[in-house]
Structure 1
Amino acid sequence: MSVRILFLGPLRDLAGQDDMLVEGTLDWDRLLQTVSPQVAAQLREERVNIACEGRVLADKTALMAEDGDEVALLPPVSGG
């Protein structure tokens, strides 16, 4: 089993892929080490959110994804 990371919007462009699989559990520090430095820099921004299993995390640094979970990296939403 593994954790699936989904890159959405501009984060997909930075990552150069739609998603990636990582083995085992995934916490905040491991997420930052796993993605590219450009994506990690964006994740550190307050405007970028993370959802785990469909729930947006109030504190993204508390991420703890288990085998089989899906983690979505959510870029800022623009509106007009």
Structure 2
Amino acid sequence: MGVKINVEGFKTKTLFNTASELFINKVRRCGEDYDHRGTCSNTERKVHIRNLAREAAEEAKIFIEEVSKEGGEQ
């Protein structure tokens, strides 16, 4: 299953890369951990993956804002 991510929605490449890493980690940790995944429909799986992607993007945004406030490079 391929999930398309709208790269244009991210203001910087760093934000996109950070969100991608967080998303991959979330899917490994949360998305593939639930026991009922074999009985879920594709629609349910896609919704779950999209939710994980949104959460990861928001976490990346917050992380980069915090780093920026502390004077770190983006």
TM range (shorter): under 0.3
The structure having more radius of gyration, on CA atoms, is: 2
Q: Which structure dedicates a bigger proportion of its chain to strand?
A: 1
TM-score (norm 2): 0.27
More helix by share: 2
TM-score by length of 1: 0.26
